[in-house]
Structure 1
């Protein structure tokens, strides 16, 4: 084979490989004026929310076009001024029609992932558990807005609503697993699996996530949601290697998780403004006192934004272990990387840096840690 022929084949193969994860959006906008700016942004998990990828184009002759690279089955936010719509699109082509300037009537064709997303959403919104939850949530909100309300009735309705939400989270997990079983090659799958587990860890267990994710075809795991699922499985599930981090302590000294390698470490997420955290602190303090002579330490991560409030709470609650914070509230770097959405929360790390337990309840914290840490 001649050198020119070989070079041509290599270039052709590279072009084919390059085009396999590109997306071309052909759009129609019959009511938009020429020059109207349209933005499209790839939606990312919380860890990457600050790293935006925005492409822009302009309407010309009531048409527009986007050519997007590195699409492996993603979802996007398309915006015009302050209005937006979500698009779930796989590599290849997509035809998008914007029937109005408010993005209330948007249709997508010629893209299977968009069709499959509509099919899945239709299953969810017609699910009996979802409909029951939606009704009781509406009833609760309506009652809460009344000028004359009975606090006991409101509390009882809130409990019913929360119970139905928990039931729906489990039902949503079931719907996701059933969808993946019936549509194993859908580009939607990694996002659905990520979203279900992220929404509620009770909806799909860690073991189920690992099993389902491992069975997925490689090509549908290469999007950002598949990558983030792998990160969570490898780094945040029980058995995973806890991600290292570094933050300042109360004196401004930078402390790393790896500084405690060789010890059991309870990473305790809390904040001075979090009442359940403050209520749990006596139990954590008791653990610190009774396990002081064992190969164990506690590392507090505060989601405070004011240093004076943080320091005052440490003193008031008598917390005598290492405390760290970047004073960025819910943007705390460690909480973001550890997927902490609610506090109090905790991770137990073994001497080798592996996660061996998560979110240990304060009622059983001491007995659980005594059993694990000899």
Structure 2
């Protein structure tokens, strides 16, 4: 009995030491290492975005091995890319030892081991794919577009149920917030995003990705008639900084678009017509492109005859302006009054023409 008590005391004394060792190891940050088939000297890049900052590190592969070492503020989505940036592998990194193995020419197929959040996230992706494949044979293209069809409703119910169960089971995780982003932010549905967000634990809500979900939810309330349009500053094609506040005292049509956005390009002829009619004095046009490729952006501007102020956010929908306006898809627009308050949101086609005509109709 005495021996047992001494053993328990010893175990209790050793427990804090073990916890300190574990905490120390966690604080040391991450090590991402592995075997990567490649020519000696091939550069491997690791990058991630945290808030408004982008972090990039690079190492050279020697003897088919590599190692990154550093510290992360929390679990983050990272991109591993080769020298030419032609092959990438996206995974969730965290402060622990993570192994990545594969071929530098086929990074997308590289295996990631010992990443807890990465494993959780890919478990969700696999479950999501399984749900889609279950319904895919029954869903024609027409059914996918027809949101009133029974098969579409059944698919969406299964999809939503999967997300809800995953978030409830993993409410503290970064992976749960990433799952919400996949389903309801990238394919915008603020109502469902808010319901899923509420299932996260306080720890889950503290992750940067959960905070992004909350920002997306709140943006709809802020980007509505009567609210002040968020201030921003971006560069035009010549590198000049343009601020939204430069237009205070004037009516502004603020349009978010991209060269690759088909509905945006189809709307541009109407915008050209409205600009010709009202753009000299009454309504000042400002377009913000979500293009990450500058040459494609400028080619589209020229081809579509967009002669008004053209700005570009190279961070696209991950940028500060898109975050402030809650934009996860384009086209998106708003009309801002002389006092800086939004007076209309997302008007297109004849609805836009009618609103502008009435706004400047002689009284």
- Classify the TM-score, shorter chain: 0.5 to 0.7
Q: CA deviation at 1:70?
A: 1.9
Residue 49 of structure 2 aligns to a residue in which SS?
A: coil
Match for residue 281 of structure 1?
A: 271
Match for residue 10 of structure 2?
A: none
Q: In the alignment, is residue 347 of structure 1 matched against residue 334 of structure 2?
A: yes
**Structure 1 pair 334/95, CA: closer, same or farther in 2 (3 Å)?**
closer
Cα distance in 2 for partners of 1:219, 1:17 equals: 21
Match for residue 108 of structure 1?
A: 113
Cα distance in 2 for partners of 1:45, 1:333 equals: 15
Whether the aligned pair in 2 keeps the contact of 1:39 and 1:78 (CA below 8 Å) is yes
Structure 1 window deviating more from structure 2 (166-175 vs 343-352): it is 166-175
Q: CA deviation at 1:280?
A: 3.4
Q: CA deviation at 1:126?
A: 0.5
Q: 2:298 is matched with which residue: 283, 292, 305?
A: 305
Q: CA deviation at 1:267?
A: 1.2
Match for residue 170 of structure 2?
A: 183
Residue 114 of structure 1 aligns to a residue in which SS?
A: helix
Equivalences for 1:208-357 in 2 at 5 Å?
208-210=192-194, 212-213=196-197, 216-217=200-201, 219-220=203-204, 224-226=208-210, 228-229=212-213, 232=216, 236-240=219-223, 242-245=230-233, 256-261=243-248, 265-269=252-256, 275-281=265-271, 284=274, 297-301=283-287, 303=289, 305=298, 309=302, 312=305, 314=307, 323-326=308-311, 331=314, 337-338=321-322, 344-349=331-336, 353=340
Cα distance in 1 for partners of 2:212, 2:128 equals: 24
Whether the aligned pair in 1 keeps the contact of 2:288 and 2:310 (CA below 8 Å) is yes
Relative to the length of structure 1, the TM-score reads 0.59
Q: 1:87 is matched with which residue: 74, 91, 102?
A: 91
Q: CA deviation at 1:346?
A: 0.6
Whether the aligned pair in 2 keeps the contact of 1:325 and 1:332 (CA below 8 Å) is no
Match for residue 67 of structure 1?
A: 69
Cα distance in 1 for partners of 2:246, 2:187 equals: 32
Q: In the alignment, is residue 41 of structure 1 matched against residue 24 of structure 2?
A: no
Q: CA deviation at 1:124?
A: 0.8
Equivalences for 1:148-227 in 2 at 5 Å?
159=142, 175-201=162-188, 204-205=189-190, 207-210=191-194, 212-213=196-197, 216-217=200-201, 219-220=203-204, 224-226=208-210
Deviations 1:122-165, CA, capped at 9 Å, x for gaps = 211110x45544x699xxxxxxxxxxxxxxxxxxx76556558x
The aligned length equals 312
Residue 86 of structure 1 aligns to a residue in which SS?
A: strand
Deviations 1:309-335, CA, capped at 9 Å, x for gaps = 379555xxxxxxxx3114x6x849899
Q: In the alignment, is residue 54 of structure 1 matched against residue 39 of structure 2?
A: no
**Structure 1 pair 343/71, CA: closer, same or farther in 2 (3 Å)?**
closer
Match for residue 124 of structure 2?
A: 120
Q: CA deviation at 1:90?
A: 3.3
Cα distance in 2 for partners of 1:186, 1:84 equals: 24
Cα distance in 2 for partners of 1:249, 1:80 equals: 30
Deviations 1:276-302, CA, capped at 9 Å, x for gaps = 12343388569959xx9xxx8453316
Residue 116 of structure 1 aligns to a residue in which SS?
A: helix
Cα distance in 2 for partners of 1:178, 1:280 equals: 45
CA RMSD, 1 decimal:
5.2
Cα distance in 1 for partners of 2:39, 2:240 equals: 56
Cα distance in 1 for partners of 2:56, 2:250 equals: 41
Cα distance in 1 for partners of 2:301, 2:47 equals: 38
List gaps (5 residues or longer) in structure 2.
1-19, 224-228, 290-296
